[in-house]
Structure 1
Amino acid sequence: MSSFNRRTLLLMPLALAACGFEPVYAPGGSGSALNGKVEVSAPNTVESFLLVQNLERQLGRSATSGNAYKLDVKVSTNTRRTSITTANETNRYTIDGSATYALKSNATGQIIASGSVSDFVGYSAAGSTVSTLADERDATERLMVILSDQIVNRLYATPGLPA
């Protein structure tokens, strides 16, 4: 016998509304509050360029004037050998990445949201030098996509963003 009850399904929207849940992209949601209104800090490394590129893709590229928010991000990566043969040859690498962020209001200078995110990706080093470099570049791009997704998700979950 299943414990599924249709009444539970019907009451779910009421429960979500009672806890303050609102869709991100609904009118007045945090998605519309941030879209095109966030100036992301200028990149200074390849990794930060990729992170800023992904953040601007998700948040919308801001206009040069009229930005409501400034997003300062700092990214750091560390590459580790994770699969080493008995002959001391590396077959696989892992890139650990972390990013700190702070969303500030341009009107008040107050920090609205801040935090840090981290994750990792791996790539193979078993092929030629060219393929290993291509795999490393691809892994770095994937890591920056993951970190930017995490930052945007946390920004969208920030309570009290004015629309």
Structure 2
Amino acid sequence: MWLPDRRTFLVSLAALAGCGFTPVYGPQGGGSKLLNAVALEAPDDRYDYDFNKRFEERLGRGSGPYALKVDFELGTTGLGSLADGQTTRYRLSGRASYALTPVGSEDVLIVGRTDSFTSYSATGSTAATQAAERDARRRLMVILADRVIDRLLIDADTLPE
């Protein structure tokens, strides 16, 4: 049975310190520059709202020095089918292209693109399939929000003071 000891912990900590690791929200990390500092566009639909909600849960509601522009591309593909050709499972893929700019400026500070996917079953009733699709779209927007935030936090130390 493996039991952790202090020596292993201290050696691991020393290795992280030696490689230049700094916590993103630590004193030298850039993540604190983004907390409550990123303004989002008003949502156009339910899924933009889900993205904004998740973004604000993690970084706070911002009216600060930065604005985030996000464009989404969503697509649906049938995955499984029965012998009669009826599709039983759908893959919902999404791509978020984002640009972080200073408020009131067109200068781009951080730009990027991320994508992900989720899926849902279409074997139930029509109402169940529609509910599954709505849930899959909500989950996809949460995943995309998390990925955009992670990418922003990685590059946050490049932002001006």
**TM exceeds 0.5?**
yes
TM bucket (normalised to shorter chain) is 0.7 to 0.9
Give the number of aligned pairs.
158
Of the three residues 94, 116, 141, the one matched with 1:144 is: 141
- Provide Cα deviations, 1:50-90, integer angstroms capped at 9, x if missing partner: 21221122110113xxx111111111210111111110111
User: Which segment drifts farther, 93-102 or 14-23?
Assistant: 14-23
Of the three residues 105, 118, 130, the one matched with 1:133 is: 130
Match of 1:68 in 2: 65
Gaps in structure 1 of 5+ consecutive residues: 1-5
Gaps in structure 2 of 5+ consecutive residues: 1-5
User: Which segment drifts farther, 125-134 or 37-46?
Assistant: 37-46
Question: When the two structures are superposed, what TM-score results if normalisation uses the length of structure 2?
Answer: 0.85
Kept in 1, the 8 Å contact 2:22–2:28? The answer is no
Could you say what the CA RMSD is over the residues aligned between the two structures, in angstroms? 2.5
- Provide Cα deviations, 1:80-114, integer angstroms capped at 9, x if missing partner: 11111110111111101110111112386532211
1:160 aligns with 2:155: no
Question: When the two structures are superposed, what TM-score results if normalisation uses the length of structure 1?
Answer: 0.84
1:84 aligns with 2:81: yes
User: Which segment drifts farther, 104-113 or 147-156?
Assistant: 104-113
1:118 aligns with 2:130: no
Q: Distance in 2 between matches of 1:49 and 1:108?
A: 24
- The one-letter code matched in structure 1 to 2:134 is R
Give 4+ residue runs of structure 1 displaced > 4 Å after superposition: 6-9
